């Protein structure tokens, strides 16, 4: 096994806790499924949110996915406030144990967030 990093992002339609929960859940589910991961493979996850998101912590949304996330270290930070940046975006950087070569890791950018990293978005 090697430690790999998986990137991902999703743009929220609105700043509401329930909507954030749905979208962060969809992002995490896609990251896990596309990379053949279980919660036992997770080392830690960093979340960032753009400064216009105030309704909830992305990590709180992740914890609501189930007990498998209960002992995974999760942390949130605020994304840089860059003029012209895409609004209402939650990003993640997950550190995982994986047998996949780095080139085979599927980075997940859902919906409009795919425009953020056209070079690696699946």
Segment 73-84 shows an average pLDDT of 96
d(C-alpha 48, C-alpha 88), whole Å: 11
Average pLDDT across the chain, whole number: 94
Catalytic residue status for 7: yes
Segment 90-119 shows an average pLDDT of 93
Pairing type for strands 74-78 and 89-98 reads unpaired
Segment 22-38 shows an average pLDDT of 96
Catalytic residue status for 109: yes
Instruction: Please report the pLDDT score of residue 29 as a whole number.
Output: 96
Instruction: Please report the pLDDT score of residue 121 as a whole number.
Output: 57
d(C-alpha 7, C-alpha 92), whole Å: 6
Quick check: 52 and 87 in contact, CB under 8 A?
Answer: yes
Active-site residue identified among 14, 63, 100, 102: 63
Please tell me the class of the 2-119 domain: alpha beta
Query: 7: annotated binding-site residue?
Result: yes
d(C-alpha 56, C-alpha 63), whole Å: 12
Catalytic residue status for 13: no
**Nearest CA-CA partner of 95 in 2, 9, 4, 1:** 4
pTM across the whole model: 0.93
């Amino acid at each position: 096994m090697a430690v790999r990093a998986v990137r991902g992002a999703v743009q929220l339609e609105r700043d509401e806790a329930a909507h954030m929960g749905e979208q962060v859940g969809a992002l995490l589910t896609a990251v896990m499924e596309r990379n053949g991961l279980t919660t036992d493979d997770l080392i830690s996850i960093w979340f960032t949110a753009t400064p216009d998101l105030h309704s909830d912590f992305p990590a709180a949304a992740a914890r609501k996915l189930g007990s498998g996330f209960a002992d995974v270290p999760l942390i949130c930070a605020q994304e840089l406030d860059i003029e012209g940046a895409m609004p209402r975006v939650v990003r993640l950087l997950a550190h995982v144990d994986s047998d996949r070569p780095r080139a085979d890791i599927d980075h997940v950018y859902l919906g409009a967030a795919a425009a953020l990293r056209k070079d690696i978005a699946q």
